[in-house]
Amino acid sequence: MTTSLKSDFYLLRGYLKSLLGVYFFMIVIAFIQKNTFLANFYPAFLAIYMPYTLFSLGQQSGWETMLLSAPISRKGLVGGRYAMCIAVDLGMLLIGFGASSVIEPDAIREHICALLFTLAFVIVLNAVILPVIYQFGITHARFVILAICLIPALALPLSDVIDFRPMAEIFTRMLTSIPALLVLCISALVFLALSYLLSCAIYRRKEF
């Protein structure tokens, strides 16, 4: 797994430098406008798309094919990719949290809640996306994000039939409760572990 993790790091190194340069520019705008949403949105967006980025770069460079011929198990390759996704996700979200805390230093609790919820959300999305990429490839996996974006639009007509207000109140209370959000993050990590096992099973049977 360490070999896979290092290879993904070298694969992402130049790419991340460009992204961090763009993000620095966005942070400057966020500071000028006192906009914490802008400081958090870009790293969250990058974190969600990190699996696509890693697989796309790996295919373009032929790096993954070379690793398959190296003395490393397929389980190790999958583990390294999961670890890199989580490491980059956490790093980007912490940068957003730091920027938000400087912009609004009196709202640290709110920033912590936003960090925990976004982290749980990103972990769940990565856990869904990664096995789909291993099974169907990057192109088909992009439809996962599209389907998730369509869920609110499809649920909107149901609001005339189903009263979502009690559920919305529970969700709002959860977003302001750090213990509840910690439980949510732990649940997301358990889901990620199951996703990892599924990806290992898929990748073990895959032929190249």
User: Residue 78 pLDDT more than 70?
Assistant: yes
Domain count, the chain: 1
pLDDT at 95 (0 to 100): 85
Q: Is the dihedral of CA 87, 38, 55, 6 positive or negative?
A: negative
Tell me the C-alpha to C-alpha distance, in Å, between residue 65 and each of 51, 75, 84, 108: 17, 15, 18, 45
Residue range of the domain that includes 36: 2-205
pLDDT at 163 (0 to 100): 59
Quote the pTM value: 0.81
Q: Which residue has the higher pLDDT, 144 or 113?
A: 113
Q: What is the mean pLDDT of residues 129-133?
A: 89
Confidence of residue 190 (pLDDT cuts 50, 70, 90): very high
Distance, in Å, from the CA atom of 128 to the CA atom of 122, rounded to the nearest integer, reads 10
User: Residue 64 pLDDT more than 70?
Assistant: no
Distance, in Å, from the CA atom of 170 to the CA atom of 189, rounded to the nearest integer, reads 22
Q: Alpha carbon 173 to chain centroid distance?
A: 24
Distance, in Å, from the CA atom of 191 to the CA atom of 96, rounded to the nearest integer, reads 24
pLDDT at 99 (0 to 100): 85
User: Residue 32 pLDDT more than 60?
Assistant: yes
Q: What is the mean pLDDT of residues 156-160?
A: 61
